[in-house]
A = this chain, B = another copy of it.
Amino acid sequence: MGLIVQKFGGSSVADVEGVFRVAQRVVETYKEGNSVIVVVSAQGDTTDELIAKAAQINENPSKREMDVLLSTGEQISMSLLAMAIEKLGFPVVSLTGWQVGIRTDSHHAVARIRKINTERLKKELDSRRIVIVAGFQGINKYDDITTLGRGGSDTTAVSIAAAMHADVCQIFTDVDGVYTADPRIVKDARKLNDISYDEMLELASLGANVLHNRSVELALKYNVKLEVRSSFNKEEGTSVKEVSQVEKMLVRGVTRDNNTARISVVNIEDTPGKAFKIFSLLAKEDINVDVILQSIGRENTKDISFTVDKSNLEAAIKILNDNLEYIGASDVKYDKNISKVSVVGAGMTSNPGVAALMFEALYDAGVNIQMISTSEIKISVLIDEKDAERAVQIIHSKFNLA
C-alpha cells in the first residue's frame, strides 16, 4: 500500500478495448489499497490528426496556438479513461495540466516543467479518488498552455511522482521492459531485470524508445523509483534504480537510433567564435544538437559537423543557410540516411577494451564509421542507415549479451 504513479502511452489507449484494459489495470492497483495517479497520453494517432488539421490552415502556425490545439488530445483521452473507470464503478477524477498546476517555462512545444502544485492532487487522493492527469502539457507564467515535446507524458509522470514522493512510477508501454537490444532486430536479446539510472539514461538518449531521457534524468535527480512494464501482460518488467552492478556486466545493451540526421557546415573561417555562432543560432530555435565533431577543412578553414533530430533538420538547415554570411562559412550539407549505434554499460569506464571490441565488430562486418562519440558509459558511432541492423546484431553477439 502506497502511492503509485502509472503512465500509459497513446497506443495503450488507442481504442475502446485499450481504454478498458488500462482502466482494469488501474482499478486493480487501487483495489490493493494504493493511491493511484494515472498519467495518460493522447489516443493513438490523435496528435498526428491534429497536426494535419493545423497544416491545412497554416503550414507554419505559432507554437503557442499549436500547443493550445495539441493539448486537447490528452484532455480527450483522460476524460474517456475516467469514464471507463466510472463504468467499472470506482471513484475517479480527471485533471488537465493547468488544473493540477503543472508550471513550465515558456518554450512552447518543448517546455520544461518548473514546479508542480500538489494541493489539488492531494485533495483528490485524500477523498480516495483515482486521479487521471493529462500528460505532455502544462502552463507557463502567463497561464498560456505549453506542451513538453517528445516523451512529454513520461516527464509528466516522473515529475508528479517526484513532487508527490510516490513509492514508484510505473511506465506502461508496448514492450515487456528494457532489453539488451531491440528484440525485433536481435532474436536472442535478453530482458534486463534492473538497470541503473545512468545506463537507462544513455539507452533512452540513444533511441531505445522505451523511456524518454528527460524523464530518466528527472527520476535520477529526484530519486524516483521507475519501472518499465508492458500494458499488455503482467510480467515484472525492468526496474530502474541505483543498482551497484548487480549483474557485473560490462556492456548492458546495444541500441540503434534512426531518428538522427547529420549536418555539416563547411569551409568556416578559422577564427574564434564560429562554433558559438552556429550553436546559439540553433539554440534560439530550440533545436537540440547531439554529437559534435570539428575537423580541419581546406586552406585555413574548418568544418563543423553535428547531429540533430530528423524533425529539426529542415528548420536547422534553414536557419544556417539564412546566416551563412554571419557564420562565415561557404555551405551547409546534410545526410538523413544515417543511424547512431551505441553500446551502453556502467562498467565501461574502467575498461578501454570495450571501444576496441566494438570497432572490431564493425570492421568484421565491413561497416564504415562516420563519426564517433563517447561518454562515461557509452560509445556511439554514426554509420550508414542501411548497415545499422546488421551492426546491432554483430555487436550484440561480440559482447555475448544473449
**Highest count of chain B CB atoms <10 Å: which of A19, A50, A53, A79:** A79
**Segment at the B interface, from A58-66, A181-189, A228-236:** A58-66
| A255 contacts B by Cβ under 8 Å | no
Does B65 lie within 8 Å of A83, measured CB to CB?
yes
Q: CB-defined interface of A34-58 with B at 8 Å, one 1/0 digit per residue?
A: 0000000000000000100110111
> What separation, in Å, do the CA atoms of A98 and B99 have in the docked complex?
10
Interface range on chain A (Cβ under 8 Å from partner)? 35 or more
**Are A50 and B65 CB-contacts (below 8 A) given A57-B16, A99-B143?**
no
Pick from B58, B68, B80, B82: contact of A87, CB under 8 Å: B58
Pick from B65, B84, B98, B143: contact of A86, CB under 8 Å: B65
Find chain B residues with CB under 8 A from A78 CB. 68
**Segment at the B interface, from A69-77, A257-265, A335-343, A384-392:** A69-77
> What separation, in Å, do the CA atoms of A48 and B87 have in the docked complex?
21
Pick from B61, B68, B94: contact of A65, CB under 8 Å: B94
**Highest count of chain B CB atoms <10 Å: which of A19, A50, A68, A82:** A68
Within 289-344 of A, Cβ neighbours of B (below 8 Å) are at: none
Find chain B residues with CB under 8 A from A111 CB. none
| A93 contacts B by Cβ under 8 Å | yes
Does A64 lie within 8 Å of B93, measured CB to CB?
yes
**Highest count of chain B CB atoms <10 Å: which of A54, A57, A75, A94:** A57
Does A80 lie within 8 Å of B53, measured CB to CB?
yes
Q: CB-defined interface of A8-19 with B at 8 Å, one 1/0 digit per residue?
A: 000000001001
> What separation, in Å, do the CA atoms of A87 and B98 have in the docked complex?
28
Does B62 lie within 8 Å of A72, measured CB to CB?
no
**Are A84 and B72 CB-contacts (below 8 A) given A79-B65, A94-B65?**
no
Does A83 lie within 8 Å of B57, measured CB to CB?
yes
Interface of A is mostly: helix
With both chains docked as a complex, state the minimum distance between the C-beta of A129 and any C-beta of chain B, in angstroms.
11
Pick from B50, B61, B79, B99: contact of A76, CB under 8 Å: B50
> What separation, in Å, do the CA atoms of A165 and B57 have in the docked complex?
32
Find chain B residues with CB under 8 A from A83 CB. 54, 57-58, 61-62, 65-66, 69
Find chain B residues with CB under 8 A from A80 CB. 53-54, 57, 69
Find chain B residues with CB under 8 A from A69 CB. 75-76, 79-80, 83
> What separation, in Å, do the CA atoms of A54 and B79 have in the docked complex?
9
Q: CB-defined interface of A242-283 with B at 8 Å, one 1/0 digit per residue?
A: 000000000000000000000000000000000000000000
Find chain B residues with CB under 8 A from A93 CB. 64
Does A16 lie within 8 Å of B61, measured CB to CB?
no
Does A68 lie within 8 Å of B79, measured CB to CB?
yes
> What separation, in Å, do the CA atoms of A25 and B251 have in the docked complex?
63
Q: CB-defined interface of A156-189 with B at 8 Å, one 1/0 digit per residue?
A: 0000000000000000000000000000000000
Does B87 lie within 8 Å of A57, measured CB to CB?
yes
Find chain B residues with CB under 8 A from A75 CB. 68-69, 71-72, 75
Does B76 lie within 8 Å of A72, measured CB to CB?
yes
> What separation, in Å, do the CA atoms of A83 and B64 have in the docked complex?
10
With both chains docked as a complex, state the minimum distance between the C-beta of A85 and any C-beta of chain B, in angstroms.
9
Q: Across the two chains, which residue of chain B brings its CB closest to A62?
A: B86
Closest 6 CB pairs of A and B: A69-B79, A72-B72, A68-B79, A61-B83, A58-B83, A58-B87
User: Can you name 29 A-B residue pairings with CB atoms under 8 Å?
Assistant: A19-B57, A50-B76, A53-B80, A54-B83, A57-B80, A57-B84, A57-B87, A58-B83, A58-B84, A58-B87, A61-B86, A61-B87, A62-B82, A62-B83, A62-B86, A65-B79, A65-B82, A65-B86, A65-B94, A68-B82, A68-B94, A69-B79, A69-B80, A69-B83, A72-B75, A75-B75, A98-B98, A99-B143, A99-B145
